[in-house]
A and B are shown apart, each in its own frame.
Chain A
């Protein structure tokens, strides 16, 4: 892009003593960030319009009489800007003190504590001792409907939530009512935010503990959470998220910014649908059917040696049922194993629902396919079967003879004798369902939350996720299991890492692992069409 267009016009500015050239029209707040200066702010949010009303981001510009709001003021040639000068600091201290005149300071019981901008800024540069002697104004709490609870006394009136509902959700359900110090955020009607799929984003963008999630309420302290970059698994949009984890349990999902996919947002369906990731009763050891016909736990080397031997004896094309919740690498390695053992075909089943677009960022939608990776399944040659509920369609596949692979699909709706008459039935998955018990080999795989790997989203963008939870027992990533197996049955190099697995799959069309980063990259064959 930069090659084709003339270089943008730049201006030379000095920010906190650092001289730099920035594009003309850059807001001072962004220019300061380029110079490494974090200008405190509340009302400004990069995904919303800037009302310049919190007055936290006031900075001093030499030769300009008044302090200027860095969120709307743009750089001009020769500006000498101070974000930390006594004047700017004093202004921020004044604003912070104003916020605390009526703030309840209930940090010990506030969910936002530890990730609260009022706390952070006050600790960093606020007055040590407040001067207000007056009784505080008390407004109380309000149930805003949906997952959102409102603690009015903690509110800093930045109006981000109002602007999100107006500008991005385009469903004006929040408003500022009253004015002056009596002003408060409120809903219009009894249902409040109930029924709006995007409402929980107001919790994310609330800089303080005024808007909190009922689902997360008092569940964990912010400082006890580990935050791992991941991909929302609940639809094919592939929103960039963080899995926020405590005690090996996912506590909540939060969006990560990615302008190519989800901007700063994610839907409530995806966000609140995480309990399944924490589901227990997992398969914790490789199980192999013994002479007596019963499954018995064995070591990995034992299991894979015996599986390799069994596959060498098998003949004819194999069949597979894969899950669209499995990683590209899992699906790709299975395809490679199948190809190394006489080829074959496979299906996947995907639950679906109604698509709901976010009006203010229409490339983001809760997609019809309610799984992370149907595009990945297609990429590796698996075809869709079953109904809109992601069930059925397995009538012929469990049939007689041959090799049957099941990867990740729990087979919750399969008949009790599913796969019982297959020559070799290998079940690589998470839960020992009745149908899975028919397998000759039951191999415990990790979920996306426990491993490294990638998903391909609906726009054919390949995006990485990282391990957030410890895998139960001996469970291993399916790509690793299948990679080791492949090395045993074919003359293939061992697959040791997710990047090895990725690099071994030609279906990515030359896309390099290193290109993915934390923001992903489109498949080369789609990149042209996409851009």
Chain B
């Protein structure tokens, strides 16, 4: 029996060796064709690597979907004496996401290869893998793989006699969601508070240690290695015109077979949930699905007949994000789930920007009141106003991410909120006229 669950409809490119412990070792990885992509890349010019990745249409797998090749293309011309850095974002902190962890657990050498290729493409001498603090096992496996790669001469000052020198350093985070945001990650990497930076300047101009830096997701780098080895057209055989290739989706919640599945982008979402994942365990109807991690707007069970690609998800009013599918059947208390998410964002807000610092906590308090059946007549409007004031007003998008589930859940499940109103309003008239900024318990 294969890795927890697999399905014939999958196209397993980067997840091919999930569940295969031998692929973790250098020897096993080489036997499976490992380090061929790296050898090929080191024989190419950096510009040629950027070109093939651009041509492949690979879009960043961390959530934003920004074209990887274009990001590398933004790096300035290499000036002597100015180091460039590649930073692999392995913080994977979005609730519902567990694809990078599995990639690192099962195919650590694929990431080492991806880092070398990415670093070479942007003229970087040093790649940092910033790995989530809770990923103890994945970190151990990665550390061992890096050690093996150094011993085999795949890393170091002169890789395989090519004269190209690239070091890889594994850096453990300390458990903050916001350190998955690329500039928060860079601050954390530098030993500062994990607070996102004001952009511009973008990392390509002033990133890690103030030097030109590209920050790429684990899955993006591993996919890039496959693209370098097999070519852009090979990669474009999967997916849609604008969303090329395959993607790992992490499925959790009320499904028969939760886990990681790799399918081509554009795969039908309904088929994915009902067929690949087996639908809900007891066959109950699906009430809601979060398609791309907790930061994206919620879909109802009736909105699932769409393609799993960046454009179709956007057209449906949500986002593909990092491909973290959370399925909820009709037993789910939506308000409670939203409250849990917003509590999470309130807990993880770095606290720099006022709308996020105050808005997340305030919204969480109101939602908690709803959960306890003590909603007040104006609360829904207040929640929508808070969400509005939290959106598009802050340095990073954590605040927007916290607002998305609030507004989409009110839009789609307003009745669930209305059912949780207090039997009688706490204040007669509830207008609070004259009670400026007062508080009631």
Do A and B come together as binding partners? yes
Give residues in A with beta carbon < 8 Å to B: 51-56, 58, 66-67, 69, 72, 91, 94-95, 97-103, 105, 128-137, 156-157, 176, 178-183
Closest Cβ of chain B to A406, distance in Å, is: 59
Q: Is the CB of A129 within 8 A of B432?
A: yes
A132-B362, A134-B362, A135-B439 as given contacts; A179 in contact with B349, CB under 8 Å: yes
**Contact between chains at A133 and B193 (CB < 8 Å):** no
A102–B358 contact, CB under 8 A? yes
> Of B117-125, B304-312, B388-396, which stretch is located at the interface?
B388-396
From B433, which residue of chain A is reached at the shortest CB distance? A129
- Chain B residues with Cβ below 8 Å from A66 are 392
**Contact status A134-B193, CB under 8 Å:** no
Contact between A98 and B433 (Cβ–Cβ < 8 Å)?
no
The 3 closest A-B pairs by CB, nearest first: A94-B389, A130-B437, A183-B351
Query: Which single member of A97, A101, A130, A157 contacts B351 (CB below 8 Å)?
Result: A157
- The digit string for B377-397, where 1 denotes a CB below 8 A from any CB of A, is 011001001001100111100
CA separation between A389 and B437, bound complex, in Å? 56
**Contact yes or no, B198 A52, CB < 8 A:** yes
- Which residues of B from 356 to 403 have beta carbons under 8 Å from A? 356-362, 365-366, 369, 376, 378-379, 382, 385, 388-389, 392-395
Which residues of the other chain, A, contact B438 by a CB distance below 8 angstroms? 130
Q: Which chain B residue shows the least CB distance to A94? A: B389
What is the bound-complex CA distance between A182 and B350, given in angstroms?
10
Which one of B176, B360, B369, B385 contacts A181 once the chains associate, using CB atoms below 8 Å?
A: B360
Residues of B within 8 A of A (CB): 176, 178, 193, 198, 346-362, 365-366, 369, 376, 378-379, 382, 385, 388-389, 392-395, 426, 432-441
The answer to whether residues A135 and B441 also contact, given A98-B355, A101-B358, A129-B436 and a CB cut-off of 8 A, is yes
B198 CB, min distance to chain A CBs, angstroms: 5
Is there contact, CB below 8 Å, between A69 and B349? no
Q: Which residues of B contact A69 (CB under 8 A)?
A: 198
Give the complex CA separation of A178 and B358 in angstroms: 14
Q: With both chains docked as a complex, state the minimum distance between the C-beta of B24 and any C-beta of chain A, in angstroms.
A: 35
**Bound CA–CA A115/B346 (angstroms):** 31
Contact A131 B378 (CB under 8 A): yes
Minimum CB–CB distance for B33 against chain A, Å? 44
- The answer to whether B354 and A180 have CB atoms under 8 Å apart is no
List 17 interface pairs A-B (beta carbons < 8 Å), by A numbering.
A52-B395, A91-B393, A94-B355, A98-B355, A101-B358, A103-B437, A129-B434, A129-B436, A130-B438, A134-B369, A134-B439, A135-B439, A157-B351, A179-B351, A180-B347, A182-B351, A183-B357
CB distance from A446 to the nearest CB of B (A): 48
- State in angstroms the CA–CA spacing of A97 and B388 once bound together: 13
Tell me how far the C-beta of A104 lies from the nearest C-beta in chain B, rounded to whole angstroms.
Answer: 10
Query: Which of A94, A105, A133, A136 makes the CB contact (< 8 A) with B376?
Result: A133
Query: Which single residue of chain B is at the shortest CB-CB distance from A129?
Result: B436
Question: Does B393 contact A58, Cβ atoms closer than 8 Å?
Answer: yes
A95 and B389 form a contact (CB under 8 A): yes
Q: A98-B359, A130-B436 are in contact. Are A157 and B346 (CB under 8 A)?
A: no
Q: Among B350, B366, B378, B394, which residue has its beta carbon within 8 angstroms of that of A55?
A: B394
Residue in B347, B354, B437 whose CB lies within 8 Å of A156: B354
Q: Tell me, in angstroms, the Cα distance from A180 to B349 when the chains sit together.
A: 4
Q: Give the CA-CA distance A95 to B394 in the complex, in Å.
A: 11
Residues of chain B contacted by A54 (CB below 8 angstroms) = 353-354
Q: Which residues of B contact A105 (CB under 8 A)?
A: 437
**Cβ–Cβ contact A176 & B355, under 8 A:** no
Q: Judging by beta carbons under 8 Å apart, are A51 and B198 in contact? A: yes
Given A53-B353, A128-B436, A180-B347, A91 contacting B389 (CB threshold 8 A) = yes
Which residues from chain A contact B178 at a C-beta distance below 8 Å? 179
* B393-A94 in contact (CB<8A): yes
Which residue of chain A has its CB nearest to the CB of B198? A52
Contact A51 B352 (CB under 8 A): yes
Task: List chain A residues, Cβ under 8 A from B388.
Answer: 94
Q: Is the CB of B358 within 8 A of A179?
A: no
- CB-nearest residue of chain B to A65: B392
Not counting A101-B361, A133-B432, A178-B351, a sample of 14 additional A-B residue pairs whose C-beta atoms are within 8 angstroms of each other reads: A53-B354, A55-B353, A56-B354, A94-B389, A95-B393, A98-B355, A131-B385, A132-B362, A132-B437, A179-B193, A179-B351, A180-B346, A181-B349, A181-B360
- List residues of chain B with CB within 8 A of the CB of A67: 392-393
Of the listed residues B352, B365, B394, B441, the one surrounded by the most CB atoms of chain A closer than 10 A to its CB is B352
Contacts of B389 in A (CB 8 A): 91, 94-95, 97-98
Q: How far is the CB of A450 from chain B (nearest CB, A)?
A: 44
Q: Bound state CA distance, A182 and B198, in angstroms?
A: 22
Taking the nearest CB of chain A, how far is it from the CB of B395, in angstroms? Answer: 7
Nearest chain B residue, comparing its CB with the CB of A136: B439
Complex: A178 Cα to B350 Cα, angstroms: 8
Per the bound structure, the CA–CA distance linking A419 and B176 in Å amounts to 76
CB distance from A114 to the nearest CB of B (A): 19
Task: Please measure, in the bound complex, the distance between the C-alpha atom of A156 and the C-alpha atom of B362, giving whole angstroms.
Answer: 15
B-chain residues with CB within 8 Å of residue A135 when the two chains form the complex? 439, 441
Contact partner of A176 (CB less than 8 A), chosen from B176, B193, B439, is B193
B176: shortest Cβ distance to chain A, in Å?
Answer: 7
Partner of A180 from the list B360, B432, B441 (CB cut-off 8 Å) is B360
Q: Using Cβ atoms and an 8 Å threshold, which residues of chain B touch A95?
A: 354-355, 389, 393
**Contact among A128, A134, A176 with B365 in the assembled complex (CB-CB below 8 Å):** A134
Chain A residue with Cβ nearest B389: A94
Name the distance in Å between B314's Cβ and chain A's nearest Cβ: 16
CB nearest to B348 among chain A residues: A180
Rounded to whole angstroms, the CA-CA distance of A95 and B389 in the bound complex is 7
CB closest chain-A residue, reference B427: A133
CB-CB nearest in chain A for B368: A134
List of B residues within 8 angstroms of A130 by Cβ:
436-438
User: A131 contacts which chain B residues (CB < 8 A)?
Assistant: 378, 382, 385, 432
Assuming the contacts A53-B353, A67-B392, A130-B436, asked whether A180 and B176 have C-beta atoms less than 8 A apart, the reply is: no
One of B193, B352, B358, B361 near A99 (C-beta < 8 A): B358
Question: Do A133 and B439 have beta carbons less than 8 Å apart?
Answer: yes
CB distance from A234 to the nearest CB of B (A): 37
Contact A176 B436 (CB under 8 A): no
Give every chain A residue within 8 A of B362 (Cβ-Cβ): 98, 101, 132, 134
Interchain CA distance A66-B391 in the complex, whole Å: 10
A81 to B361, CA, bound (A): 32
Q: Is the CB of B351 within 8 A of A98?
A: no
Q: Is the Cβ of B436 less than 8 Å from the Cβ of A181?
A: no
The CA-CA distance from A182 to B346 in the complex, in Å, is: 9
Residue of A nearest to B388 (CB): A94
Q: Given A66-B392, A98-B389, A102-B358, is A180 in contact with B350 using a C-beta cutoff of 8 Å?
A: yes
A72-B354 in contact (CB<8A): no
Q: Are B198 and A72 in contact (CB under 8 A)?
A: yes
Q: Establish whether residues B198 and A55, one from each chain, have CB atoms under 8 Å apart when the complex forms.
A: no
What A residues does B379 contact at CB under 8 A? 133
**Across-interface contacts of A157 in B (CB, < 8 A):** 351-352, 354, 357
With both beta carbons as reference points, the residue of chain A lying nearest to B426 in the complex is identified as A133
Q: For A97, list chain B residues within 8 Å (CB).
A: 389
Closest chain A CB from B266 CB (angstroms): 28
Within the complex, the shortest CB–CB distance from A125 to chain B, in Å, comes to 14
Task: Specify which of B349, B360, B426, B439 is in contact with A132 (CB 8 Å cutoff).
Answer: B439
CA distance A98 to B349 in the complex (A): 15
Q: Which residues of A contact B347 (CB under 8 A)?
A: 180
CA distance A178 to B194 in the complex (A): 11
Cα distance, A223 to B376, chains bound together (Å): 40
Taking CB atoms, residues of chain B closer than 8 Å to A129 are 432-437
Chain B residue nearest to A130 (CB atoms) is B437
Report the Cα distance A101→B389, complex, angstroms.
Answer: 14
Identity of the chain A residue whose Cβ is nearest the Cβ of B345 in the assembled complex: A180
Q: In the complex, what distance in Å separates the CA atom of A148 from the CA atom of B372? A: 42
Nearest Cβ on chain A to B146's Cβ, whole angstroms:
30
Most buried by A among B354, B360, B394, B432: B354
Contacts of B349 in A (CB 8 A): 179-181
Are A133 and B440 within 8 A (Cβ)? Answer: yes
In the docked arrangement, what's the CA distance between A256 and B349, Å? 37
Residues of chain B contacted by A51 (CB below 8 angstroms):
198, 352
Residues of A within 8 A of B385 (CB): 94, 131
